[in-house]
Amino acid sequence: MSAESGRSRQWLLTLPSLAWLGVFFVIPCILVIVTVFRPADLQGGVGSGWTLETIHAVNDPSYLPIIWRTLWLSSVTTIVCVALALPMTFQMARVGPRMRQVLLLFVVIPFLSNFLIRIFAWKSLLHPEGPVTRLLHWLHLIPEDALLLNNVGTVLLVLIYTQLPFAILPLYAAAEKFDFGLLDAARDLGAGPWRSFAKVFVPGVRRGLISAALMVFVCSLGQYVIPQMVGGASDEMLGSKIAQRVFADRNLPHASALAAGLMLAVLVPMLIVAIWHRFGRKEGSA
Amino acid sequence: MDGFLVIDHVSKSFGSLRAVDKVSLTVSQGEAFSLLGPSGCGKTTLLRMIAGFERLDCGRILVGGQDITALPPEQRPVNTVFQNYALFPHLNVWENIAFGLRMSRRPREEIRSGVDRMLELVRLSEHARKRPAQLSGGQRQRVAIARALVNRPQVLLLDEPLAALDLKLRQHMLMELNAIHEQVGTTFIYVTHDQGEAMSLSDRIAVMNNGKVEQVDSPVHLYETPRSSFVASFIGDANFFTGTVVEMQHEGYVRVSVEGLGSPLVLSKGTVSANQTLRLMVRPEKISLMLKRPPSGERVNAFRGIVEDIAYFGSHTRYRIIAGEHSILAQLQRSRFSGGDIDPVRGTEVWMTFHPDEGRVVMLEGEA
């Protein structure tokens, strides 16, 4: 009986956040999906009636390279960020509490300045007259005419830069709870330092690993400022296209269709992870 | 130096603290050996040095004639049962036990038979697919032992193996550990702060204090002839008296004058000289209590005292008796109280006696 009332009290406690989610997330999502089936009107709004016209328009092979680029940029960003964050958080969780605070501060500091300003900083760093370009020229590491800006590599670099903290924070939370005595046990049983890391530490923080990967992947998928500012004309991501449909073409249904597609691309992997977690927990408590 | 596990003048400091101070020990093959001492005595540091988790400041460690001092833990022919077991939570029991064999890339068939054999040894075959979180404390303990033993280590290190278990389970695991040791015949090194555990598990015990080994001996010898008052008080309970040698008799018997207790006759293993100040030790259970004065004689040590406190433990009763400035602990089995039908109560005057063979000279004053 007390468990019952405890559960209902828990529901009451989550009610405000559920209401918030409903008003500002679920309803807008539904509106986006509804808009897909509305006709566009010439003033950039949404007309009345229903149509499948947008679906046909979106089914355009010229989107395929953009979708492909969006997917591989996000995937590579995710892999690189997680690969960098794993050893970093491993160390962060092992150092003393004071050093830990300092390192954590370093991770969070970039958030203190505006996202756009940080992208601009990259722009001026990599500018043909910028310090990085000049230094690399001087060291003869790149040819005279090499451009560090406006290519897909730069987009990837800046994506990794912006997403790295989102990989570090959830992984750090998991690494902090990890029992490092298990690494002693692994060494004792014949695993070298690398194998102990791979066979015991990595599985030990797998929940954090999944959160980190999901966070980075989802955030990367929707990026449009980065390709626009440091990428070239042919480095668009799906986010850029959505922005273009909204601001330049003023075609909301078309933008909604792309956004809904992206949403599905995000929700499906999350759903898979959620189901996987469920199974994992059941296995653990059976 | 012969012996299977040889610890040769090993030292380790943490900052200014000498955790292990020039310790030398020799353990023979198949022996069950304990490192016993209070927390901070250096026993765990010594164990971690044998396992390879701590570097030695100086000295060396040999196993089966091979110098392993410079080897990393994964290359040592030694496995550890950790105090909190350190089972891998993401692997089930079977996979936990298989971990070591997989790391050494043994063939699949050998891994399977090895793990199954271990599961049988620790009687956990039906729990093979469970995760560590689903096991009881005693079961986890057995998984930890199996996980270490499956690698056929030359030496098995057990760090406070029973500390995390409750009393009943501890008694049971004690028997189980002895049975496993008998069955596999591997050299076992226990680290424990519990003298009862050490006594019932080991062939020999090294009593450690402040980074040094005070005495290495069999449990019986440690209890019956402790060499220092630290060993005497750490292993079991003891009454200590300080006195001066007044008479030396043949075969090591000395008469020692103790203020307020007369001049009891005791046995000394070491050499003593007349007028020397020394310490006597008598175990509580070696003292008998009587209500009447015992017949006096050359070899009877008898003192009078007042019962101050009584504690009944079922199998035995403990009496705290005040005699002059001394507070003496005596322990009696219920039936051994002699010299009257009534039990002594608080305030009763009683006579304490002990045989000269039960009084020991433990440490000559000034040697501490």
> Does residue B365 surpass a pLDDT of 60?
no
| Chain B CA closest to residue A182 | B86
Asked if B27 and B93 sit in the same domain, the reply is yes
DSSP letters, B41-101, are SSHHHHHHHHHTSS--SEEEEEETTEE-TTS-GGGSSEEEE-TT----TTS-HHHHHHHHH
| Chain A CA closest to residue B157 | A188
Measured in angstroms, the CA of A109 and the nearest CA of chain B are apart by: 34
Q: Which of B51, B86, B131 sits opposite A181 (nearest CB)?
A: B86
Asked if B50 and B195 sit in the same domain, the reply is yes
Is B181 an 8 Å CB contact of chain A?
A: no
Q: Which of B204, B233, B262 lies at the terminal end of a domain, its last residue?
A: B233
Asked if B271 and B334 sit in the same domain, the reply is yes
- Per-residue pLDDT, B1: 45
Identify the band that residue B338 occupies on the pLDDT scale cut at 50, 70 and 90: low
Q: Identify the CATH number of the domain in which residue B50 sits.
A: 3.40.50.300
Closest CA to B66 of B6, B153, B151, B148: B6
Measured in angstroms, the CA of A229 and the nearest CA of chain B are apart by: 44
- Yes or no, beta carbons of B53 and A187 under 8 Å apart: yes
Better-predicted residue by pLDDT, B19 or A278: B19
Question: Which residues of chain B neighbour A200 with C-beta distances below 8 Å?
Answer: 88
Q: How many residues does chain B have?
A: 368
- Yes or no, beta carbons of A184 and B86 under 8 Å apart: yes
Q: Which of B214, B233, B252 lies at the terminal end of a domain, its last residue?
A: B233
Highest mean pLDDT among B42-56, B161-175, B344-358: B42-56
- Per-residue pLDDT, A89: 94
Identify the weakest region by mean pLDDT among A65-69, B61-65, B274-278. B274-278
Measured in angstroms, the CA of B158 and the nearest CA of chain A are apart by: 12
Is A286 an 8 Å CB contact of chain B?
A: yes
Give the residue from B74, B78, B96, B156 with the most A CB atoms within 10 Å of its CB, the best one to mutate.
B74
Question: Which residues of chain B neighbour A187 with C-beta distances below 8 Å?
Answer: 52-53, 72-74
- Per-residue pLDDT, B267: 83
Using a pLDDT cut of 70, give the percent of chain B over it. Answer: 95
> Does residue B30 surpass a pLDDT of 70?
yes
- Per-residue pLDDT, B3: 81
Asked if B52 and B75 sit in the same domain, the reply is yes
- Per-residue pLDDT, A5: 64
Asked if B186 and B40 sit in the same domain, the reply is yes
Domain tally, chain B: 2
Phi-psi region of A48 (alpha: psi -120 to 50; beta: other; left: phi over 0): beta
Question: Which residues of chain A neighbour B47 with C-beta distances below 8 Å?
Answer: none
- Per-residue pLDDT, A73: 94
Asked if B314 and B351 sit in the same domain, the reply is yes
Question: Which residues of chain A neighbour B100 with C-beta distances below 8 Å?
Answer: 189-190
Closest CA to A188 of B82, B133, B174: B82
Identify the band that residue B345 occupies on the pLDDT scale cut at 50, 70 and 90: confident
Question: Which residues of chain B neighbour A180 with C-beta distances below 8 Å?
Answer: none
Residue A173 class from Cβ within 10 Å (0-12 exposed, 13-18 middle, 19+ buried)? Answer: middle
Asked if B228 and B260 sit in the same domain, the reply is no
Is A282 an 8 Å CB contact of chain B?
A: no
Asked if B254 and B206 sit in the same domain, the reply is no
> Distance between CA atoms of B270 and A255, rounded to whole angstroms?
98
- Per-residue pLDDT, A13: 87
- Per-residue pLDDT, A90: 95
Asked if B50 and B126 sit in the same domain, the reply is yes
* Segments in chain A forming alpha helices (H): 2-21, 27-36, 53-58, 64-94, 97-108, 115-126, 131-138, 152-177, 181-188, 193-196, 202-204, 206-221, 225-230, 238-243, 252-285
Asked if B118 and B217 sit in the same domain, the reply is yes
- Yes or no, beta carbons of A187 and B104 under 8 Å apart: no
Better-predicted residue by pLDDT, A7 or B364: A7
Which mean pLDDT values do the consecutive 10-residue runs of chain A (286 residues) have? 66 89 91 90 82 86 90 95 95 92 91 89 88 86 80 92 94 94 95 94 93 91 89 87 88 91 84 79 45
Structural contact between residues A182 and A195, judged by C-beta atoms closer than 8 angstroms: no
- Interval B196-224: pLDDT, tens: 899 999 999 999 999 999 999 999 999 98
Measured in angstroms, the CA of B79 and the nearest CA of chain A are apart by: 6
Average pLDDT of every residue of chain B: 89
Q: Which of B233, B255, B279 lies at the terminal end of a domain, its last residue?
A: B233
What residues contact residue A10 under an 8 Å CB cut-off, 6+ apart? none
Q: Which of A182, A190, A286 sits opposite B74 (nearest CB)?
A: A190
Domains in chain A: ranges and CATH: 22-285 (1.10.3720.10)
- Per-residue pLDDT, A284: 43
- Per-residue pLDDT, B316: 84
Domain housing B325? 237-290+299-364
Q: Identify the CATH number of the domain in which residue B250 sits.
A: 2.40.50.140
| Chain B CA closest to residue A184 | B53
Q: Which residues of B123-140 are buried (b: 16+ CB within 10 A; e: fewer)?
A: ebeebbebbbeebeebbb
Asked if B156 and B195 sit in the same domain, the reply is yes
Average pLDDT over residues B153-178: 89
User: What ipTM was reported for this prediction?
Assistant: 0.80
Asked if B149 and B49 sit in the same domain, the reply is yes
Structural contact between residues A262 and A275, judged by C-beta atoms closer than 8 angstroms: no
Is B100 an 8 Å CB contact of chain A?
A: yes
- Per-residue pLDDT, A285: 40
Question: Which residues of chain A neighbour B147 with C-beta distances below 8 Å?
Answer: 189
- Tell me the pTM: 0.81
